[in-house]
A and B are shown apart, each in its own frame.
Chain A
Amino acid sequence: MKSIRLENISKAFGWIKALDDISLQINEGEILALLGENGSGKTSLMNVIAGIYHPDQGDVFIDDEKVTISSPKDAFKYKIGMIHQHFKLVNVFTAVENIVLGLEKSDYKKFKEEQIKTEEEFFAKLKGVREPSNVEVANAKSRIYHSGKYDLNFARQKVIQICNQYGFKIDPDKHVYDMSVSEKQNLEIVKALFRGVDLLILDEPTAVLTPQEIKVLFKILKNMKADGKTVIIITHKLNEVMEISDRVEVLRKGKYIGGVKTSETNPAQLTEMMVGKKVELEIRRDTPVNPDLRLEINNVTLVKEGVKVLDNVNLQVNGGEILGIAGISGSGQKELLECVAGLQKAKSGDIIFHNPKENKPVTFFHKDLKQIKELAAQGKFHDPDGNKIDLTGLKDKEIRKMVEEEKIIFYENEIMPLNDKTPLEIRNLGIKLSFVPEDRLGMGLVGEMNLTQNMALRSFRKGKGMNVEMKKPERLAEHIVKEFGVVTPNLNTPVGRLSGGNIQKLLVGREISSNPKILMTAYPVRGLDINTSYYIYNLLNDQKNARCAVIYVGEDLDVLLALCDRLAVIYQGKITGVVDPHKVTKEQVGILMTGGSIDA
């Protein structure tokens, strides 16, 4: 294979034009970065080359010859391999078993020929020294002809050879379930190379890696380039583009924008090409003003199916501050947030909420009359003049009137353990969780319901009578659609039909709009375009300035370091450090993310 040329490729999904008349050239032996925001069509375009999508219009040329690639198998025929974001490996198989899995008869033939060649080479070498013994010949024959379909030993040798050549670190006999994310990724690449791939496409390969692992991956990619292989890396991270690529091609909203040599460009220019206008790439971080303790997580341990998902976690979260949580995905971030939200019951430990009630009047929203009387008996309230309140001897009616006139005021913050509270009670206290899982809809939204109904999820119990009140949710939906620029045909569209980014804007928008006291967000910008991402960072910063305690679980270390006031790092359910983002480096955080320790 020498080069691939795409001519006038178009592909539509329903009313969305994912690819619009794209022409592109890929040269032999280069590392090409395909740059674009989420939803710009990068992955769709590569899926066309990898045989997963069939374009509506346009042609693919390999070495100036028109080809039809109609399946991933076809793609392998043309020596094209693609590594997807979600790995396609069998967990209970070992590395080498995964590699030979799915080889076809034709592959097998080639494979055998190669094996015969090695055996012949062995005998040829031997010839000068001594005659091969009968046993050796018989063994070789049985290895070639009678050893079942694949000779795993031979495959293993080839895997080791590939690993040594390019610098992978893979144990061929390790089971996939024992592997870390980066090992799985390496295995996927080796699998492609094993099949003799000359063009390797990597879809967002760095999203799941630590800084150290990214360095190793880039070194491997450079080795592959030196070996004459072509690499396409799909990404939206500019620093990586600048570091690794020879050339950059930019897509925006399904259209081809242009290509530049990496050595002749800079991040600002690339961003402009990607977004279509100049973007201020700065995350606002205001200095926290008098942060006060809002949430204590004390020695929390969570066991799920016999595995400690959270191991003795201690954390303090302050109002008026953003606490970042960094870690490889699946290290317990999700479970930690769910514990606080009451969706998981911790095995041991306490979660204590400091309700900021100091000098604020009591309301019937959280307390009923009986509770107010009890608290008053404990001397928790004062009147507007600062005198202690004694409710004994007062009639219920009089107390109600005092509460409604906001004359009963808390002395201090209310301290309440959350362990025995239901998710609903915790939500009503103002502790909001906006978690964006992989499938985006799993928690917080209902795909079959329309925008308005999804807004009503938060408030549908309010209001008198049997029926659900839909006016306010409708207004909220309108507001969020306008404010966040959600692309939707109308408010009656089921949210499951919207694109991932738009779904996310709805979810984050809904949770922020409720003025929470604690806002927990996990991956709120996953899949969003740059402008909206920065918009959300700034919204979080605004929440912080409004005295909200923000917990931000993120993937992008650059963002975590730029946005947060404190940064906790989690590894296998343990907090390996709480660091000052102003002082640490990405590499140091990377060490903590893999269970190491630093002096800071």
Chain B
Amino acid sequence: MSSQATVHHDHHDDHHPTGIMRWLTTTNHKDIGTMYLVFSLIMFLLGGIMILGVRAELFQPGLQLVKPEFFNQLIGVHALIMIFAALMPAATGFANWMLPLQIGAPDMALPRLNNWGFWLLPPAAILLTLPFTLALFGIGDGAIATGWTFYAPLSVQGGIGVDFAIFAVHLLGVSSVLGSINVIVTILNMRAPGMTLMKMPMFAWSWLVTAFLLIATIPVLAGAVTMLLTDRHFGTHFFDAAGGGDPILFQHLFWFFGHPEVYIVLLPVWGFMPQILQTFSRKPMYGYKAQVYSLWAIGILALVVWAHHFFTVGMPVPALLYFMYSTMSISLPLAVLFFCWIATIWKGSLTFETPMLFAIGWIVLFGIGGLTGLVLADVAADAQYHHTYFVVAHFHYTLFAGGIMGIMAGVYYWLPKMTGHMFSERLGKLHFWLTAISFNLTFIPQFFLGLAGMPRRIPDYALQFAEFNMISSCAAFVLGLSQLIFVYNIISCVRGGKKATNKVWEGAEGLEWTLSSPPPYHSFTEQPVVK
């Protein structure tokens, strides 16, 4: 890449605005990626504060701090924010930052759409949380109180919070679909010469599957919540039994989206995690092809297993059996992935920098999430565990350990590349150990609570559950406060620190590590050739 060519291609973008206008109008993939990641971090903290309110209420049996209605609002909005406003934007942020760098593209394929895709998110977040504030002024009765699943008929009867949430989901959906289209076009059209599909980084593969899943399922969710909206206000009866509708239909429509959604937030992590593992094992990724095929297998299976989320509504036995076996079959390609991840670090020369600590902790904890999912997939066992804290613990092992701790590994892995500075390893390791230990102390008791039959989404509980809930609440507060170390570490890394080298990590492989740290505002204006 000659410096002359860079200057030539840059000149028309040199006068980009500064200050707030830079961020409002930017079409640069790194700027937009940064905005996604910052937005995600803020929402992660906001969703965390909400659930600490819930854990504070659950510290003791009885009702002490919040009213049951407010409790219901907190759990639902916590989930919506964590899934739609924290996890998904974090994954999209990484896609924006790293996909063009990893595949040697100068930018995302559709930069203006990219800008719009991001700026739909803050209004959506405001729509979700505004009803809390409105209720303080006596308008409406607060945010959506149905849980994040919007189940009818409760959501048909709910207050204005439901309408706000419906419109928020519409905006978030449009944003994700635009983001997905952008990712697919970028990956298929903008790869560096010589980079065939089977030479792509795993992160690109995983995002390709994710993007197709989003395109297949988000419109179904948008349709479902639109039907809900017309049921609420325009006299239709999609889910209203009085008018010949069926509330169970809503569960089918919702989980047709909802189950693939789990993989939508996890697949990007499965993409960059092998890259982190190979970096700190200093040996090539094991089973590249097997991993690619497994990602696709999981993506396709994810679309046909949704009804295991409501085994207890009363399905015919053949349907139960089908959804049980198809759900369990997902564990086969997932086991292939686990095998590849472990084989990648097998006999490598490992070092345990913060990203690697998170990666290894992630394999173990996500493994627990996967195995407990296998238990829930069993129709006979599910009758006991359904809607208990066992389910809550299970999906936090997949979505917090498997999702958010994975994202944290990615943040620590790429932060020096993005900022040009090394973060504090000492604080990073402290953050990891506090997070891993307090996470387990929060959720292992919840497995026991669920096995003992404590129902989820209820602000009060029987006395026999008191000790485990107390442990869980204390650990949850440690978990929440530990994240402040993460925030501090990121901020101080952005502001300064030891200069990062281009390669940052000794064993790092891939095109993003050939650029300077931080990479130039416009990178790969001359595409590199991959051999």
Do A and B belong to a common assembly? Answer: no
Please list the residues of chain A having a beta carbon within 8 angstroms of any beta carbon in chain B.
none
Please list the residues of chain B having a beta carbon within 8 angstroms of any beta carbon in chain A.
none
